[in-house]
Chain A
Amino acid sequence: MREVYVVGIGITSFSRLEYPLSEIAAYPAMQAMKECGLSKIDHLFVANMGASRINQQTALASAVVDTLSLTPAGAEAIENGPASGASAIKTGFMAVASGVHDVVMVTGAERMRAVNNLEATDFVATLSHPLAEYIYGVTLPSLAGMFTRLYMEKYGVTSRHLAMVAVKNHDNAMLNPFAHLHQKITVEAILDSPEAETNNPFVADPLRFFDCCPVSDGGACVILASKEVAQDVAKRNKKPIVRLTGIGQATDTHAVQERENPTDLLAVRGAAQQAFKMAGVKPSDVNVAELHDAFTILEIVESEEVGFFKKGEGHLALEKGLTSLTGQIPINTSGGLKGKGHPVGATGIGQAHEIVTQLRGEARKRQVKNAKIGFTCNFGGFGNNVVCLVFARED
C-alpha cells in the first residue's frame, strides 16, 4: 500500500451561500488546486448528502468536474449521510494507496439553506430508520435529546457541561474566519440569567438551542496524492508535508433502540481504533482533534469513545479545561460543528481542512502549539456509520 499525502486544501466560509451547489463544491477545489499548483487531477470524489432531495440535483460529480473544467477526469459522488465527507476522503485514500491514481481531489458541498429549517430538519431525519424511527416523527435533535438524558443519568453529565462545550466552541469559532457563528456566548446568559430560557430555549429536552449546531451551507476540499507528488509540491510551495496516516470506519445498528447499550457509541470506538492502529499511534499521541459535535453531548461522548478519556469522564476533562485551545488535547479548534457550522456532506472534509491547517502551523490565532498528530471523527446517522482519520506532519 502506498503512502497518501494531503497536498492541497480549500474551504468556503460555512454560512448561507446563495450559489449553485456545484459552485460551492468547486470554489474550495480551486483554492486547493491553486495552493498546490496542480492542474491535472486524476479523479474526483464529491461528498454530498442532500442534493437530490433539497436541491433537486442528482449526479453532482458530473456537474462539479465540468464546473472545474477538469473533464475527462473520472468523478463520482459519495453519499454516506453526515459522514459523507470523511467517507469520500477514505475512498480517495484507497484510490491513491492502491496505486490506481496519483492525484485525487475530494471535494464536498452542501446547500441546506436552500430550504427552510423545518424542511432541513426533516431531510436530515431521513437518515433514521424508516419504520422504527422516521415514521414516528423522530428527528436528530430528538434522538440526541433522549441519548443525552440517558447519559446524564448514567454518568453525571449536567446542562452546565453541555453549555461549557457550546461556549468553548463558540469562542474557537470567533478565531476562525470560515466559521458560521461569530458570536460569543456565556454560560451565565444561556443557563442562569432570568432570560436564559428565552435566550436558550429547549429544542429536545434536555438539549437547548445552544446545544445544537446551526444549519449551514458550505464546501471544503482536500487533494490527496502519492509521496512523489507530495514531495514535488512541498519543494515548490514550501509548506510542511501532511500525511493521512490512518483511516477507520465502523457501523452500528440502524435504529438506536436496537443497541444493547444505547449510551455506547460502538461505531465511534471501532472506527477510532482502526484508524489509530493503521497510523501506529495512540489516542494520547494526538495533539489536536475535530470531533463531530452536532450536539454538544456528542463532543463529550466521542472524546471518551475515541480513547482520549475514560468512559464517563469526558465531562470531567472538559471541566478541567483539557479540551480547550491551550489544554492537553484541544478539541474542535475550528469551532466544531457547533460554531463552525454543519453543511452535512462537507463536514468531514471541513474537519480534515482544520487538522491540516493546524499541522501546517497555519491556524493563526487558534494555532495549537507544535501540533504534529491530528484526528477527526465524522459521525454519520445517529452513530451508525462513523469514519475516523489520523493525520501526521512529516518533518
Chain B
Amino acid sequence: MAIELETILRPVDHPVPPFPPKYMQVASGEMMVVRQIDREEVPELLPHVEPLLHVERDYYDIVSARVYAELLAYYRHRVQDEYVLVAQIDGELAAIVNGRFLNADVGVSYHTLALRRGLRVGAHAFAAKMEYHIDIVKQKEVLIVAESPIGFRRWMIEYQLEKRFEVAHELGGVPSWALTKEIFDKARETLVVGRRPVPEALLKKAQAAILPPSSPPKPPQDLLAATRAMNDPTGTSLMLQRWKQEGKV
C-alpha cells in the first residue's frame, strides 16, 4: 500500500538532455565551473544553504528558504522536471541556480543564489540556466520572477525581459516576466559566457566535493545594539569581536 501511494506521489520526470558543463574566468582570476548535479549531491548543498536563511538582507533569507525547500523536494521526488546547476570555484560552492520544465515549450526559473559576492557569479549562473532552457532543451521561453531589487536589475533590466503579468508564476502571485529565444539571442554576446569542454582536472576537482563557500553572505552587523550601548564598555567592541572571530583583525 505504502509503495503504491509513493508511486502516485512521486512524479516521473520527462527525459531532457543534460546540461553540458562549462567554465569561465571570474574577475578574481579564478576559474569557475558550472555543472548540473543530480539528486545524490543535494545533501552536500543543504548545509551551505541553511545559514543563509538567517541573512536578512537582499532577500537572502526568503530566497534561500525557498531554494532549501526546492532542493529537498528535488531530492525526495516531490517536484517534477526540476534541475539544479551549481557554480564552483576551486571546488568551493559559489552559486546555485534551479528551475523546472513546465512543458516542452515553457520553462520556469526558480532561483539564483550567489554565495560569493562581487564576482557576478550569480549572473553567470543565471545565464547558464537560461542557456539550458533555450539552447539545450530548446524551449521557447522561460518564466521568471524576482524577489530582490538586485535580481530585478540583473534579470529584468539587463536582459530586457518581456512582461507576462497575466501569467501566474509557480513561486506565487508576483508578476511574471519572460525570457524568449529572441531576447536570449540579443543578450548572448554580452551576458552569456563560458568555454567547453571543461578541462578534465577542473571538472574532476568540482565533482570530487562541493566545498563550503569561503566568504558567504553574512547577517548585517549589530550596529544598533552597539550604538544603544553607549555607556556600556563592551558595546563598541561588538564589531571588533566579530572581526576577531572572522580573522579580519
CA distance A348 to B57 in the complex (A): 27
A23 B224 Cβ-Cβ under 8 A: yes
> Which size class do B's interface residues fall under?
35 or more
B221 A186 Cβ-Cβ under 8 A: no
How many Å from the CB of B232 to the closest CB on chain A? 10
A195 B25 Cβ-Cβ under 8 A: yes
Besides the known contacts A194-B193, A198-B124, 11 further A-B residue pairs in the complex with CB atoms under 8 A apart: A19-B223, A23-B223, A30-B226, A30-B235, A117-B153, A183-B117, A186-B28, A195-B26, A195-B194, A197-B190, A199-B25
- 17 A–B contact pairs at CB < 8 A? A16-B57, A18-B56, A19-B223, A19-B224, A30-B226, A34-B233, A68-B230, A116-B149, A117-B149, A118-B153, A183-B117, A185-B27, A186-B29, A189-B26, A197-B190, A199-B27, A210-B27
Chain A stretch 157-188: residues in CB contact (< 8 A) with chain B: 177, 181-186, 188
- In the bound complex, residues from chain A placing their C-beta under 8 Å from that of B239 are 12-13
B28 A183 Cβ-Cβ under 8 A: yes
How many Å from the CB of A280 to the closest CB on chain B? 35
User: B-facing mask of A363-384, CB < 8 A → 1, else 0?
Assistant: 0100000000000000000000
User: B-facing mask of A33-76, CB < 8 A → 1, else 0?
Assistant: 01000000000000000000000000000000001110000000
Chain B stretch 214-241: residues in CB contact (< 8 A) with chain A: 215, 220-221, 223-224, 226-227, 230, 233, 235-236, 239
A91 within 8 A of B: no
B9 within 8 A of A: no
- In the bound complex, residues from chain B placing their C-beta under 8 Å from that of A16 are 57-58, 220
- In the bound complex, residues from chain A placing their C-beta under 8 Å from that of B28 are 183-186, 189
Number of A residues, CB within 8 Å of B: 39
- In the bound complex, residues from chain B placing their C-beta under 8 Å from that of A364 are 249
B interface: dominant SS: loop
- In the bound complex, residues from chain A placing their C-beta under 8 Å from that of B191 are 198
A17 B223 Cβ-Cβ under 8 A: yes
B223 A195 Cβ-Cβ under 8 A: no
Q: A117-B153, A177-B249, A198-B193 are in contact. Are A183 and B223 (CB under 8 A)?
A: no
A193 within 8 A of B: yes
- In the bound complex, residues from chain A placing their C-beta under 8 Å from that of B118 are 181, 183
Chain B stretch 79-100: residues in CB contact (< 8 A) with chain A: none
How many Å from the CB of A219 to the closest CB on chain B? 9
A349 within 8 A of B: no
A27 B27 Cβ-Cβ under 8 A: no
B230 A199 Cβ-Cβ under 8 A: no
CA distance A201 to B190 in the complex (A): 8
A200 within 8 A of B: yes
B120 within 8 A of A: yes
- In the bound complex, residues from chain B placing their C-beta under 8 Å from that of A118 are 153
Q: What 8 pairs between A and B have smallest CB-CB spacing?
A: A186-B29, A177-B248, A183-B118, A193-B25, A195-B193, A199-B27, A189-B29, A185-B27
User: A-facing mask of B3-41, CB < 8 A → 1, else 0?
Assistant: 000000000000000000000111111100000000000
B120 A198 Cβ-Cβ under 8 A: yes
B220 A18 Cβ-Cβ under 8 A: yes
